[in-house]
């Protein structure tokens, strides 16, 4: 029912004023009605209802685009709609890091840098990332690598207030859902999602919103009592040969870089 739940959350966030329709009578529930979405998408109400209810109606690309337009979906949401309606399971292949990637990540100190895999397992990180994100020391032959989502959900966020935490996690969960749509039947993804739903109220609440987001550049500020004020420009890169690998780089401001460099030097001695 992921498709139906996604469609319901998208229409529930809209009002008739948002889409230029006249509202008649008092509404018992928020958002657009199914017949209003169908009207805007130029399709039958019963047909749209069948789609929300998860029946096998096999919508065309044009119909999906019309629904996306009616629901005011952004590009990431439109892509997500197509994946849910016409799922294509990606082939799962082994993910390996070449020497060039390893050297690149390590050379980026004092700018935190890390690589996460398909299931958001941390495959590699440098000394600066270890310091900023309180990660264990990287060892090549670690039997179990930390999971980035799990780490962010359970780590001690002394440096963030509740509002900052929820805003940051909301973005990450929306990106996690966008990744999951490429592997809808993958048991590993399902196991992780169930774990996070059971263990984190914050994840549970945000996951139910069905928001999706692509990786974007972000300006990030935070405070850590060990380091002080920190400021980064965050970018995520993906390899054309393996887009399921994400290279995450936090380019530090000059002041932040100086403090990180000094702290890393102290720790090494």
Taking a C-beta distance cutoff of 8 angstroms, is the pair 124, 102 a contact?
A: yes
Q: Supply the pLDDT for residue 139.
A: 79
Q: Decide if pLDDT at 243 tops 60.
A: yes
Q: What is the value of pTM for the model shown?
A: 0.86
227-233, long-range: CB < 8 A, 24+ apart: 227/131, 227/132, 227/256, 227/259, 227/260, 227/263, 228/259, 229/255, 229/256, 230/132, 230/159, 230/256, 230/259, 231/255, 231/256, 232/111, 232/112, 232/256
Taking a C-beta distance cutoff of 8 angstroms, is the pair 226, 263 a contact?
A: yes
Q: Decide if pLDDT at 156 tops 60.
A: no
In the structure, what pLDDT confidence band is assigned to residue 158 with cuts at 50, 70 and 90? very low
Which secondary-structure segment (H or E) carries 231? strand 228-239
User: What does pLDDT average to over the chain?
Assistant: 88
Over residues 180-198, mean pLDDT: 93
Q: Supply the pLDDT for residue 236.
A: 92
Over residues 239-265, mean pLDDT: 93
d(CA 3, CA 8): 9
Q: Supply the pLDDT for residue 24.
A: 67
Lowest-pLDDT range, 31-45, 144-158, 215-229?
144-158
83-140: pLDDT as tens digits: 999 877 777 777 888 899 999 999 999 999 999 999 999 999 999 999 999 999 887 7
CA angle 26, 28, 29 (to 5 degrees): 120
């Amino acid at each position: 029912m992921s498709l139906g739940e996604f469609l319901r959350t998208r229409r529930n966030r809209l009002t008739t004023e948002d889409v230029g329709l006249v509202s008649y009578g008092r509404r018992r529930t928020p958002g657009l009605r199914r017949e209003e979405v169908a009207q805007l998408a130029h399709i039958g109400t019963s047909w749209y209802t069948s789609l929300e209810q998860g029946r096998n109606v096999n919508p065309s690309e044009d119909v999906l685009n019309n629904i996306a337009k009616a629901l005011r979906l952004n590009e990431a949401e439109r892509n997500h709609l197509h994946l849910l309606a016409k799922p294509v399971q990606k082939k799962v292949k082994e993910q390996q890091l070449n020497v060039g990637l390893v050297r690149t990540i390590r050379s980026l100190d004092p700018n935190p840098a890390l690589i996460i895999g398909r299931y958001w397992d941390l495959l590699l990180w440098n000394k600066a990332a270890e310091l900023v994100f309180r990660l264990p020391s990287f060892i090549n032959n670690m039997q179990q690598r930390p999971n980035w989502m799990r780490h962010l959900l359970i780590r001690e966020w002394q440096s963030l207030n509740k509002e900052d935490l929820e805003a940051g996690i909301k973005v990450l969960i929306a990106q996690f859902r966008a990744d999951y749509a490429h592997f809808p039947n993958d048991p590993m993804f399902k196991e992780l999602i169930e774990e996070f739903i059971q263990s984190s109220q914050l994840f549970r609440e945000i996951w139910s919103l069905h928001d999706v987001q692509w990786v974007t550049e972000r300006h990030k500020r935070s405070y850590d009592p060990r380091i002080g004020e920190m400021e980064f420009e965050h970018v995520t890169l993906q390899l054309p040969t393996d887009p399921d690998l994400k290279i995450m780089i936090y380019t530090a401001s000059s002041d932040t870089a100086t403090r990180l460099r000094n702290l890393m030097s102290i720790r090494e001695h």
